[in-house]
Amino acid sequence: ANSTFSQVETSIFEIMSALARDSGAINLGQGFPEGLEPRELIEAAVAALRGGPHQYPPMMGLPALRQAVADNSRRFFGLDADWEREVMVTSGATEALADCFLALLEPGDEVIVFEPVYDSYAPIIRRGGAVPVAVKLAPPDWRLPFEQVRAAITPRTRALVVNTPMNPIGKVFDETELRFLADLMLEHDLVAICDEVYEHLVFDDARHASLFGFADVRDRVARIGSAGKTFSVTGWKVGYVMADAKLLGPIARAHQFVTFTTPPALQAAVAAGLVLPDSYFAGLKQALRDRRDVLTKGLNQLGFVVRPAQATYFAVADFTAFDRAGDDLAFCRRMVAQAGVAAIPLSAFYARRDLRGHIRFCFAKQRDTLERALDHLTRWV
């Protein structure tokens, strides 16, 4: 009765989506895009479903997809990986993360995570017997606090979880921050689990960089991606892990017993998506950047304080102009009930719920949806 999972609450994304559904509110909470799925990807999935095969694909993933993952990572991020030895397909990034935590951590190990932290990490880390140790990033800049990171390391520290671009704050770790983390990994013999699902959703002058690209730590990095984000199909749950063969070995053993494989038609379609021309990837960024600008500008005009996100689907808004005491969960509940707009309280990304004046909006929606939401908010605030 006292197990890890009896203590875990229903995810805030599920809670806010259910509230939005029940009340007919516009859902800018849970992160999912509207109307951006590439036609080529859907057609490839339909063709693969018609033509088959429909049985278990290879455990490591379809060769065509593993090659496409390696090629895409080289084309856009200059990362070199041997698809036969260093790339594995998973059922979403969520599975890849679980595989990594189960495979790379032992009971008693400590794992550094950065708050605000994505909600799926800590429960699986704990269930594996390891201990998440949070280091907080602070608004409005969300810089990596080097001294606090250093101070969080103990002889039991085994791993870092690095989510860049970072949900919920839209931060892209820069080269200096990554170099600092790479040096710590060498100094303290650590591995890094790098959640890079938003790798393609980066705007303006920001550039995505991966610890996997740092030659001296490359063999200590498991880099994770998701077709859900790259192709705006979050329900598909097709992900991948890229890691040196020695590190990937145990991760593949975990995958073998968690899901074993991923639907072959979806794998074939994602392989077709990853080889689309540069114009597809540029168009996706452009569309999301435009949507970001519509929502950011609108929220700022209303009196929220929002900085343009460098990446991801998310705009973080300081709402304390409306509610000085700042209880973000209460604010979100009022907003969904009274204004008909759902968002996510940022405190959900902190183990101690200790930052309460910010909420997260998802801007990856059609312009019309964003404008309607802004309209509702204008009448409410």
Residue numbers of the site for ligand PMP (CB under 6 A)? 31, 92-94, 118, 163, 167, 195, 197, 226, 228, 234, 237, 239
316 burial level (CB within 10 Å; 0-12, 13-18, 19+): buried
How many residues bind ligand GLN, per CB under 6 A? 5
Contact 60, 262 (CB under 8 A): no
Binding to ligand GLN by residue 13, rule CB under 6 A?
A: yes
Q: What is the CA radius of gyration of the chain?
A: 20
Residue 71 Cβ, how far from ligand PMP at the closest point, in Å? 20
Helices 264-274 and 39-51: angle between axes, nearest 10 degrees: 140
SS (H, E, C) 217-236: CHHHEEEEEEHHHHCCCCCC
Do 277 and 75 touch, CB atoms closer than 8 A? Answer: no
Site for ligand GLN in 19-38 (CB under 6 A): 30-31
CA distance 357 to 250: 41
User: Residue 119, CB half-sphere, CA atoms under 13 Å: how many?
Assistant: 17
Rounded Cα distance, 174 and 142, in Å: 12
Using CB under 6 A as the binding rule, the residues of this chain from 138 to 197 that contact ligand GLN are: 167
Closer CB to ligand PMP, residue 38 or residue 92? 92
Check residue 11 for interaction with ligand GLN (CB under 6 A): yes
- Shortest distance, position 90 Cβ to ligand PMP, whole Å: 8
- Say which entry of ligand PMP, ligand GLN, none residue 298 contacts (CB below 5 to 8 A, set by partner kind): none
Query: Which CB, 281 or 313, lies closer to ligand GLN?
Result: 313
Choose the one of ligand GLN, ligand PMP, none that binds residue 30, judging by a C-beta under 5 to 8 angstroms depending on kind: ligand GLN
230 binds ligand GLN per the rule CB under 6 A: no
Binding site partner of 11, from ligand PMP, ligand GLN, none, Cβ cut-off 5-8 A by kind: ligand GLN
Q: Which spans of this chain sit near ligand GLN (rule: CB under 6 A)?
A: 11, 13, 30-31, 167
